[in-house]
Chain A
Amino acid sequence: MRKLASVLGAAALGVALSAAASAQEQIRIVMVTHGQAASGFWSVAKKGADDADADLADTVVEYRSPETFDMVTMAQLIEAAVASKPDGLAVSIPDADALGAAIKGAVAAGIPVVSLNSGSDVARDLGVMVHVGQTEFEAGEGGGEKMKALGVTKAACLNQEVGNVALDLRCEGFEKGLGVKPDIIATSIDPTEVKNAVTAYLTKNPDAQAIFILGSDPAMPAVEAVEGMGLIGKVKLATFDLSEGILEAVRDGKMEFAIDQQQYLQGYLPVVLLRLYKKFGLMPGADVLTGPGFVTKDNAADVIAWSAAGYR
């Protein structure tokens, strides 16, 4: 009897769910990213997708991501998305080898695909219509130009993941923007190591005027190192990506600026683009750059509020 009840319960739940899923002729967009649920960066992007779902009455967004950084599971999620025949598919492409076949499969099945966050270099080859994200080289270049405007002539890139191509691109862009070849401080993300490496570099190179930090993890230890040597203001600091500590450091003038790739847009815009493509066949002719957005002393206070609300 109890068994019967549970079966009936499951069936009733099923009917309710399927009724909810196919209420009207809605535009159904599936977004598959590599962002793990616990990532602070990605929860902002997911909020963008969720808000697009809420803002657009005729559009349903389903957001999917693997529980761990697992490209195989992600490829399988994309395969499943293709099998469910959505009106549009948005994917991030951190590993074109592992995900390429699944994405090409989606394109072959006639599903419009937009990529977001990572994959700007491979998107076109895979048949993706447009990429929404930050191009690393241009973001670095923007940072370099800003540093140049501050009068910097000798600087270093702080690279916390040697071999990560994206970080190399950021530093190469920085070199182009600055017009001078920067030194490279290679570390891990271990805060003690970062702090000591920065201290050692500044001791050895007293003429260094700026450190360009290539990710948010080593940013605060670098600030501590510079602060510990009493060089705040003399050695200008800037970083990629945001965190609470970084924003406060920018607000307090310990850092010049932080480069924000505005990942909320990376969650929101693909939904809008795919919806408009489905409705009217519209699609931008070039990739959509969501960054670099610069957080400086002027807007840091606002950004702190938006960050707390989950938009930055």
Chain B
Amino acid sequence: MASVTANRVDERLQQAPLLTRLLSRPELGAIAGTVLVFAFFAVVAGGSGMFSLKGVITFLEVSAQLGILAVFASLLMIAGEFDLSVGSMIGFAGVAIAIPVTLYGWPVWTAVLFAFGVAVLVGYVNGYITVKTGLPSFIVTLAGLFVLRGLTIGLTRLLTGRTQIPGIHKFSEGDWLAPLFGSDAFKGLFVWLAARGWIDTLPNGAPAVPGIPVSILWWLGLTAVATWVLLRTRFGNWIFACGGDKNAARNVGVPVDRVKIILFIGTACAAALFAAIQVLKFGSADTQRGLLKEFEAIIAVVIGGTLLTGGYGSAIGPAFGALIFGTVQMGIFYTGVDTDWFKVFVGVMVLVAVIFNNYIRKRMTEAR
């Protein structure tokens, strides 16, 4: 009797077969959805330039910018909270960079750090109010959405007399920190590839795209780091615990409030990063930047398999969610459909992707 139990490994320690483990991951549905979306556009828009080098970089860049927001939004949603203020935070952080630079002559790098500082503060306030009042974060950050957008417009108009701040490029040239946000990577490699004719070129022989926009590298890097944190660290376990059962988590010693506040700071900083990328890449800031991004981020997270109720999700899923969203957003362009119908198309594609993703996940988790 004793020898039998000794040979059997406790079932909690048992390793499920690799395939089963892969199939039960939250991001599986999103990956399947991505395949579906790519198949759709390969058929519909295969020859239209969407899958040329420039086309690919274009939709990857759109996906990357959304993906940066989505990764942090996903961590927060796994912990059971929402942040609806990220869209407004983008506009706010954008002018927080642009006004000090253009009006007061700050070096660009100090203005970028200042914007991140503001983001930490906003995230802390969002988180602190949410955990201290016990109000739904949906409401607290909805208030943040209005307050931040209003502050953005109000302060910008008060200080500059307008709502658009152009001309940042001439300040950011030569700044040591700016290339980290607004440049293209691997330029030399692209020139080299173009010279050999391995990638598309312009008529003058230069590569069709100058390089890989750094936003794509940020997206991949942050997704990798967030995945590692979620799956391999104590803090990652705390995040799941907060969203799973707050009280149980508290009872076993998880500092729920601290975890949530840190994650709110994370989403606000993601918004600041998004703003820095846009301001430094496009050389201007305006008060309308980031409009509706909070919902796009939530859509990407949900497509990515994270539950709206918290406690379940991943960081890779939202990356695929963002890829689906970005691909659809740019892809509709190549299908030749009138942009009046764009939102219908996006809405339907999103719904189809989520239903598909849900269906796959259900089947796989049941089959186990």
Q: Could you list which residues of chain A lie within 8 angstroms of chain B, going by C-beta atoms?
A: 3, 6-7, 10-11, 13-15, 17-18, 20-22, 37, 60, 62-65, 67-72, 75-77, 79-85, 95-98, 100-101, 108-110, 162-164
Contacts and interface: CB of A to CB of B under 8 A. Distances in A.
A81 B41 CA distance: 16
A88 to B, nearest CB: 15
B278 interface: yes
B58 A80 contact: yes
B284 A162 contact: no
B340 interface: yes
A155 B206 CA distance: 55
Contacts of A68: 288, 291-292
A96 B167 CA distance: 9
Contact of A72 (B49, B58, B289): B289
Nearest to A107: B202
Given A14-B44, A100-B283, 7 more contacts: A14-B40, A17-B44, A18-B45, A63-B339, A67-B292, A80-B333, A95-B284
A77 B333 contact: yes
Given A80-B330, A97-B284, A37 B339 contact: yes
B58 A162 contact: no
B113 interface: no
Contacts of A110: 202-203
Contact of B55 (A6, A65, A77, A80): A80
Given A76-B330, A109-B208, A71 B336 contact: no
B338 interface: yes
27 contacts: A7-B36, A10-B39, A11-B39, A18-B44, A18-B335, A21-B48, A62-B336, A63-B339, A64-B333, A65-B339, A68-B288, A68-B292, A72-B278, A79-B61, A80-B59, A80-B334, A83-B52, A83-B58, A84-B333, A95-B166, A97-B166, A101-B282, A108-B202, A109-B202, A163-B160, A163-B162, A164-B162
Interface in B317-353: 330, 333-340, 342-343, 352
A71 B169 CA distance: 15
Interface residues of B, number: 55
Nearest to B160: A163
Q: Lowest 6 A-B CB distances belong to which pairs?
A: A163-B161, A14-B43, A83-B55, A14-B44, A163-B162, A97-B283
B78 interface: no
Contacts of B286: 69, 71, 95
A92 B39 CA distance: 33
Given A70-B288, A83-B52, A108 B336 contact: no
Nearest to A110: B203
B40 A18 contact: no
B291 A13 contact: no
A70 B289 contact: yes
A8 B202 CA distance: 37
A47 to B, nearest CB: 12
A57 to B, nearest CB: 17
Contacts of B255: none
Nearest to B340: A37
A88 B234 CA distance: 56
Contacts of A84: 48-50, 55, 333-334
B202 A69 contact: no
Contacts of A108: 202-204, 206
A275 to B, nearest CB: 17
Nearest to B290: A70
B244 interface: no
A13 B289 contact: no
Interface in B281-318: 282-284, 286, 288-289, 291-292
